[in-house]
Amino acid sequence: MKSNNDEKSMMPLVITSMAVISPLLVILGIVIGDSLGGGALTSDSMSSWLSAIATVAIAVLTFILAKETWYLRAAQIQQLKELKRENIRPNVGLEFEHSPVGIHFINVKINNFGNGIAKKIRFKFLDRNGDLVSTNEDVLVAKFKNLAMFTVGVESLGIRQVISTFLFSFLDLQKELKGDIYSPYVRVHIIFEDVEGTLYENEFSIDFAQYKGMVELGKNPLNQIANDIQKIQKDFSKITRSNNRIGVNVFSEKDRVQEDESTRDWLAEQMRKE
C-alpha cells in the first residue's frame, strides 16, 4: 500500500519532467537532422519551431495542472462527504446489564452512541456458523422475540437515547435449559440507517459462558432505600384507624399523673355512692 502511494506521488514529477525534456529533445533532433542533411537552419525557422514547441509544452503542462486540480477537487468533495456522514452517523449497540433488584434479573439495553439519529433499526439472530436462528431452536432467542422491538424493529432512536427493558431471569432460564445455563450463544446482527438512508451494520456476540462464577456483594443502595421505605409504609399503616387517624398515645407524664388522679377520684366517688 505504501509503495503504491509513493508511485502515485511521483507521477506528477515524472510527467512534468517528460513534458519539459521532450521539447528540448525535439529541438536537438531538428538541429542534428539539418546538420546531417547539409541544410541551414535560419533564425526565422528556429523561432517558429521554438514557438510551436513552447505552445505544445504549455498545453501539456496546462492539461496536467487541470487534471491534478480536478483530482484535488474530487478528493476535497469526498472528504466533505465523509465529514458530513460522520457528523450524522449513528452507532446502535446492544448490551446486557444486571437489574438493580437482583443479579439474577437481566435487562437488555439498546443504545445509540453515535452523532446522528438511527432509523429503521432491525435485528437478526445468528448462531456460531452465521445461520439464522428460529425461536423454536433457541430459548434465548425466544426471550428476545417476546419483545416487539426485536421482531418488528425500532423505527427511530435519538442521539444518546437508551431503551432498556427486562429480558429474562437466570433462575427461570436455568429451569428451561434444564440446568445447562452457560450453554446459550447468539450473535445479534443489527442493521440501521442514518437520516439520509445510508445503511450501517453492527454485530454483537452473547456468550453465557462469560457469566460463569460471577457473584454480587451487597445490594443496590437506592433499591435498598426503596425497600426500607416500603417497610416503613406497611408498619405505619398498621397503627392507623379506619378514619385514617393515627392511633398513638401522645400524653405527657404530667397528663398521665392528672389522668391517674382523676381516675382514682372517680372510683372513690363511685364507691361512696354505693
Q: What is the pLDDT of residue 215?
A: 63
- In single-letter form, the type of residue at position 205 comes to S
Structure pTM? 0.57
Burial class (CB in 10 A: 0-12, 13-18, 19+), 188: buried
Contact 130, 122 (CB under 8 A): no
Q: What is the pLDDT of residue 212?
A: 74
User: Alpha-carbon distance 264 to 211, whole Å?
Assistant: 73
User: Alpha-carbon distance 124 to 188, whole Å?
Assistant: 6
Q: What is the pLDDT of residue 120?
A: 94
In this prediction, the residues of the chain whose per-residue pLDDT falls under 50 are 2
Nearest by Cα to 216 from 101, 95, 109: 101
Q: What is the pLDDT of residue 174?
A: 83
3-state SS assignment for residue 272 = helix
The runs of H, that is alpha helices, within 123-273 are 139-145, 170-176, 221-238, 253-273
User: Alpha-carbon distance 99 to 110, whole Å?
Assistant: 15
What grid cell was written down for 71? 483530482
- CA distance readout (Å), 270 to 96, 216, 256, 261: 77, 69, 21, 14
Q: Which domains are delineated in the chain?
A: 2-87 (no CATH), 92-211 (2.60.40), 221-273 (no CATH)
